[in-house]
Chain A
Amino acid sequence: MIIDFQHEQGAHCESATTTNLLIHQGLKITEPLVFGISAGLFFSYIPLVKLQFAPLFSYRSMPGKIFSRANKNLGVTMKVEKFKNPVDSMSALDVQMVKGNPVGLQVGVYHLPYWPPEYKQHYNMHNMVIYGKEGNEYLVSDTVLPEVQRITYDGLMKVRYPKGPFSPSGKMYYPVDVPKNIDMNAAILKGLKKNIYEMTEIPMWFIGTKGIRYLSKKLATWPEKHGEKTANYYLGQLLRMQELAGSGGAGHRFIYAVFMAQAGEKLNNPKLVDLSKEMADIAKLWRHFSILGAKNCKYRGGVETSFVELSKILGVLADREHDLFKRMKKVI
């Protein structure tokens, strides 16, 4: 059974998978629109929580929110299921295959046979779509790769039940109610407002533009506090989150700029389109930050770009993002 599903590679697995499932339902939507409608742009710096032995940095809202908020704002209902018994999860998947429904899954990436080896890690919050079954193999639309893939029954069951934090427990999801007339503009506005709130109005020092400022102050102290080597590793982790964790570039700021431009066009709002150019400029500065920071990540290298210089750039980024979201609030 092979469903006529349009596989499209994307920048970020959660937004790209959601986009592909929605397009299959007939929506005229893009990944940037899904990302923006779900208010996916974010920032947080939580040094006490460690991921891969480095502080927790995030440039996007909590995993799961892009999916749930996009659907909510668009008025789409998705059925989301988890299963105690792995065999039940596979039977439930097969039922949807027979019905001709492509299904989204949350999986762990470590045992995916087609995963790029340089990114192999114990990570359990990846999203992909199963759109068919032939014999003992499932057909996979994984937005990380340009082409579709295949995985066996045993292989799929294994990745649906990985061990460790945020394990999906066979989580699967598919649309069950899609309104005939979706008010895309209303969804876009909801997303914009939510994102303005999350980036500038949450009263926590480690979140949003406050979080960028907080990081900027702390980053300058890393070499003295942790030693050069660890400081460079933490910096590397920040840059991995910024450029490699499926952000599409500059911590999702580029894709958000595209969203703002597309949103501005749909809403007939030229000021929003202008602001999208400012966001693109901010994204360029993030990228500049990453190029300078990456100089410190060379094998047996030391500190080539000073942490004080990097911290100054972050300070500018905090100010510019804060200013941009404030201006955006006034024009929408």
Chain B
Amino acid sequence: MTTNETDNPYWQIPEKGSTLEVLYKYDEKSGEVVRITDSHDDDIRAVTQQSWEFYGERTENARKLVLEGKKSPIYYYMEKIGMEINVLAPSVSLPKWKVKRHFKPKIYKKLKRPILEKYATALDVKFEDLDKLD
């Protein structure tokens, strides 16, 4: 594995061999393209890992913004599950501009329970845990 597993806080992808996919590869011996079932090579697994790191950093930044009082918790949870506003908004049956307003801590504090429960469901988190930033 090209990425260092031990000091990478975003290490996410499972062991090589746990996911087997159909791949078409050039077989040097026969000079033909053959169909095999295998894990991806280490270099490509590094590319999967990069996307987890990218989203992991976005999640960390989101957490910081919430702790600094610049964004509301639902913004953090959206980033945590790699969701974007074009999925979150229809998930809670609201237009995007309204969801963006709810990212503001002052507006979020005034939200009532029914809409918060909708957000919790959409964001795969329990209603009671919304403020915990786990």
A135 sits at the interface (CB 8 A): no
**Are A233's CB and B84's CB within 8 A?**
no
| Interface membership of chain A positions 57-94, coded 1 if the CB is closer than 8 angstroms to chain B and 0 otherwise | 00000000000000000000000000000000000000
B24 sits at the interface (CB 8 A): yes
Q: How far is the CB of B74 from chain A (nearest CB, A)?
A: 15
A46 sits at the interface (CB 8 A): no
Question: Which of B51-59, B63-71, B103-111, B125-133 lies at the binding interface?
Answer: B51-59
| Interface membership of chain A positions 228-246, coded 1 if the CB is closer than 8 angstroms to chain B and 0 otherwise | 0000110011011001100
Known A118-B52, A163-B87, A299-B8; judge A240-B23 contact (CB<8 A): no
List residues of chain B with CB within 8 A of the CB of A165. 86-87
**Are A297's CB and B87's CB within 8 A?**
no
A248 sits at the interface (CB 8 A): yes
- Checking A122, A237, A257, A283 against B87 with a beta-carbon cut-off of 8 angstroms, the contacting residue is A122
Question: Nearest chain-B residue to A277 (Cβ)?
Answer: B31
- Checking B3, B23, B47, B86 against A249 with a beta-carbon cut-off of 8 angstroms, the contacting residue is B23
B33 sits at the interface (CB 8 A): yes
Q: How far is the CB of B104 from chain A (nearest CB, A)?
A: 22
Q: Which of A242-279 contact B (CB under 8 A)?
A: 243-244, 248-250, 254-255, 257-258, 261
List residues of chain B with CB within 8 A of the CB of A233. 50, 54
**Are B50's CB and A11's CB within 8 A?**
no
| Interface membership of chain A positions 280-303, coded 1 if the CB is closer than 8 angstroms to chain B and 0 otherwise | 100110010011001101110000
**Are A10's CB and B44's CB within 8 A?**
no
Q: How far is the CB of B129 from chain A (nearest CB, A)?
A: 19
Q: How far is the CB of B83 from chain A (nearest CB, A)?
A: 6
**Are A163's CB and B49's CB within 8 A?**
no
- Checking B10, B13, B32, B40 against A243 with a beta-carbon cut-off of 8 angstroms, the contacting residue is B40
Question: Nearest chain-B residue to A255 (Cβ)?
Answer: B24
A10 to B20 alpha-carbon distance, docked (Å): 11
A273 to B4 alpha-carbon distance, docked (Å): 43
Q: Can you report 21 residue pairs joining A to B where beta carbons are below 8 Å apart?
A: A11-B23, A117-B14, A118-B14, A118-B48, A122-B84, A146-B20, A163-B91, A164-B91, A232-B50, A239-B47, A243-B47, A244-B40, A248-B23, A254-B26, A255-B24, A258-B35, A283-B26, A294-B44, A297-B47, A298-B46, A299-B49
